[in-house]
Amino acid sequence: MAFFFRFLSLLCLLAAIAAGTVDSIASVASSRVTLTSFETDWISLSASSLALVKQWVEYYIHPEVWRSGAALVIAQPAFAVLLGLSLLFWMIGYRRRRPEPLLM
Percentage with pLDDT > 70 across the chain: 99
How many Å apart are CA 83 and CA 15, to the nearest integer?
A: 9
pLDDT at 103 exceeding the cut of 80: no
Q: What average pLDDT is seen over the chain? A: 92
Contacts of 7 (CB under 8 A, 6+ apart): none
The arithmetic mean of pLDDT across residues 90-96, rounded, is 90
Residue with more model confidence, 99 or 11: 11
User: Could you read off the pLDDT of 15-54 as tens digits, one per residue?
Assistant: 999 999 999 999 999 999 999 999 999 999 998 999 999 9
- DSSP states along 16-38: HHHHHHHHHHHHHHHTS----BH
How many Å apart are CA 79 and CA 20, to the nearest integer?
A: 5
pLDDT at 104 exceeding the cut of 80: no
The arithmetic mean of pLDDT across residues 81-96, rounded, is 94
**Alpha helices, H only, the chain:** 2-30, 38-56, 63-65, 71-74, 78-93
How many Å apart are CA 5 and CA 11, to the nearest integer?
A: 10
Calculate the CA dihedral of residues 40, 13, 88, 95 and round it to 10 degrees: 160
The arithmetic mean of pLDDT across residues 91-96, rounded, is 90
